[in-house]
């Protein structure tokens, strides 16, 4: 792992800087990287009022010309309509290839702004400043950009690496609690796969407020893991598949719950259920489910849903894109930090998942 200092991760050829207060020290990081230019600061209507003017002020003091482009908050903005509006704004403001984009917001802003940057004039540079916990630990790193189609999420996109990712853990203090906790679900998933010191940090979090206290080390551990997956994935395709832990069940629940569960909440239930099922089969060490459920539940993440095991749930699983030749490969953990794969016939999935342990 090409880690330099505790708060600095170098991923491929760009830096991910994680430090409290970094949002007020942009000149230190953007100054050496970008000469004077036009910058489109893309944000949404929740994040913009909180942080955009402070970011713009610093960029203007560096000599940049800045326009703020604000999109409506929410997944619906990952659309062709927003792509068109934003691209037209860049063109009307005479942006050329040497001009740039900064994404200031959650995963929606990051995915959309990344896509815009990748296609405007065949690609202009971008810096990601993720402000939600989910974006800080997941979507801002890895270079995946996307918008949605009516037929599905993230159907159109590109791989496009930013020049820099700046993560200020202080910004999560303004996140609504449900979104903070949802993002933390992604962190628990990674920690359960990695174990060791990462899991020890998780054990320090006993209520939602502790997520903010330990944000810096949690984000650092998550991104270190994600960076390793992204770097090694070029050779080991299986590694990235580990990130699907909890997702087969999570996606099926999201499909039938239609919007009631947030993605991270559905995955939390998925992680708890898959671990319980494998523990019941004797393939996961006793008490692992107790540990995993305990960590999820103490911050208020759901670990169960009445729809689990219903006919609707099992027909939703059949839509899983990962099914190949009537077989599905599930990610499970033998114990904390010991991930593994298990492939079974899709016809057997009901028998496999239904008999779980009682807790
Ligand atoms: N590119 C990838 O690799 C990748 C990975 C995972 C998820 N994603 C994408 O990320 C998106 C979800 O990300 P998200 O959960 O950040 O959603 P989001 O961008 O919708 O942000 C969630 C909400 O929090 C608000 N918000 C963000 N930061 C805030 C702050 N500091 N203070 C107050 N409010 C704030 C936003 O305005 C929004 O209302 C999805 O579209 C998903 O597909 C992409």
In the annotated binding site for NAD(+), the residues are: 107-111, 131-132, 144, 153, 171-174
In the annotated binding site for Zn(2+), the residues are: 186, 247, 263
What is the H or E stretch that residue 331 is in?
A: strand 327-333
Q: In terms of DSSP bridges, do strands 100-105 and 38-44 run parallel, antiparallel, or are they unpaired? A: parallel
Tell me if residue 244 is catalytic: yes
Show Cβ contacts of residue 119 under 8 Å, excluding neighbours closer than 6 positions: 83, 87, 158
Centre of ligand 1 from the C-alpha of residue 107, in Å = 3
- What is the pLDDT at residue 5? 45
CATH superfamily for domain 178-357: Dehydroquinate synthase-like - alpha domain (1.20.1090.10)
Question: Residue 225 and residue 218: Cα distance in Å, rounded?
Answer: 11
Per-domain boundaries in the chain:
8-174, 178-357
- What is the pLDDT at residue 351? 83
Q: Which of 199, 198, 201, 200 is nearest to 210 (CA)?
A: 201
Centre of ligand 1 from the C-alpha of residue 7, in Å = 22
SS3 159: strand
**Whose Cα sits closest to atom 6 in ligand 1?**
139
Question: What is the per-residue burial (b if ≥16 Cβ within 10 Å, else e) of 273-285?
Answer: bbbbbbbbeeebe
Tell me if residue 251 is catalytic: yes
Single out the catalytic residue among 247, 273, 293, 295.
247
- What is the pLDDT at residue 11? 53
Q: Which CATH number fits domain 8-174: 3.40.50.1970, 3.40.50.720, 3.30.160.60, 3.40.1160.10?
A: 3.40.50.1970
Atom of ligand 1 nearest to the CA of 172: 31
In tens digits, what is the pLDDT along the chain, a chain of 359 residues? 343 445 656 555 778 999 999 999 999 999 999 999 999 999 999 999 999 999 999 999 999 999 999 999 999 999 999 999 999 999 999 999 999 999 999 999 999 999 999 999 999 999 999 999 999 998 898 889 999 998 888 999 999 999 999 999 999 999 999 999 999 999 999 999 999 999 999 999 999 999 999 999 999 999 999 888 877 765 556 778 898 999 999 999 998 987 789 999 999 999 999 999 999 999 999 999 999 999 999 999 999 998 888 889 988 988 777 788 889 999 999 999 999 999 999 888 888 887 664 44
Show Cβ contacts of residue 289 under 8 Å, excluding neighbours closer than 6 positions: 272, 275, 276, 279, 357, 359
Single out the catalytic residue among 189, 251, 293, 295.
251
What is the H or E stretch that residue 226 is in?
A: helix 215-233
Tell me if residue 214 is catalytic: no
Q: Which of 108, 104, 110 is nearest to 54 (CA)?
A: 104
Centre of ligand 1 from the C-alpha of residue 282, in Å = 37
CB of 70 sitting under 6 A from ligand 1: no
Tell me if residue 325 is catalytic: no
Question: Residue 228 and residue 331: Cα distance in Å, rounded?
Answer: 18
**Whose Cα sits closest to atom 3 in ligand 1?**
139
CB of 87 sitting under 6 A from ligand 1: no
Centre of ligand 1 from the C-alpha of residue 105, in Å = 7
CB of 154 sitting under 6 A from ligand 1: yes
CB of 75 sitting under 6 A from ligand 1: yes
SS3 5: strand
CB of 43 sitting under 6 A from ligand 1: no
Question: Residue 72 and residue 79: Cα distance in Å, rounded?
Answer: 11
CB of 131 sitting under 6 A from ligand 1: yes
**Whose Cα sits closest to atom 16 in ligand 1?**
106
């Amino acid at each position: 792992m090409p880690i330099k200092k505790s708060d600095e991760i170098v991923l491929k050829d760009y830096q991910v800087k994680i430090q409290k207060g970094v949002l007020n020290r942009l000149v230190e990081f953007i100054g050496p990287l970008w000469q004077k230019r036009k910058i489109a600061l893309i944000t949404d209507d929740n994040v913009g009022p909180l942080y955009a003017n402070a970011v713009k002020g610093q960029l203007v003091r560096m000599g940049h010309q800045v326009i703020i482009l604000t999109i409506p908050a929410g997944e619906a903005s990952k659309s062709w309509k927003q792509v068109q509006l934003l691209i037209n704004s860049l063109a009307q403001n005479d942006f050329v290839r040497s001009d740039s984009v900064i994404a200031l917001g959650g995963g929606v802003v990051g995915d959309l702004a990344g896509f815009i940057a990748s296609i405007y004039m065949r690609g202009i540079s971008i810096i990601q400043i993720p402000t939600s916990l989910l974006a800080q630990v997941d979507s801002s790193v890895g270079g995946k950009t996307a918008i949605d189609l009516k037929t599905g999420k993230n159907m159109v996109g590109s791989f496009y690496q930013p020049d820099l990712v700046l993560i200020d853990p202080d910004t999560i203090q303004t996140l609504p609690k449900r979104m903070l906790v949802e993002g933390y679900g992604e962190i628990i998933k990674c920690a359960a796969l990695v174990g060791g010191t990462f899991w020890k940090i998780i054990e320090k979090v006993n209520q939602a407020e502790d997520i903010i206290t330990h944000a810096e080390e949690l984000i650092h551990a998550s991104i270190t893991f994600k960076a390793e997956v992204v770097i090694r994935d070029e050779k080991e395709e299986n590694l990235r598949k580990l990130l699907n832990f909890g997702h087969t069940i999570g996606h099926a629940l999201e499909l039938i719950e239609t919007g009631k569960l947030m993605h991270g909440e559905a995955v939390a239930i998925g992680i708890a259920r898959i671990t319980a099922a494998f523990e019941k089969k004797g393939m996961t060490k006793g008490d692992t489910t107790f540990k995993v459920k305990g960590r999820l539940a103490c911050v208020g993440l759901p670990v169960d849903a009445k729809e689990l095991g219903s006919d609707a749930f099992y027909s939703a699983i059949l839509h899983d894109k990962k099914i190949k030749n009537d077989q599905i490969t599930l990610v499970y953990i033998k114990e904390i930090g010991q991930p593994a794969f298990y492939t079974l016939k899709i016809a057997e999935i009901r028998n496999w998942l239904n008999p779980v342990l009682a807790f």
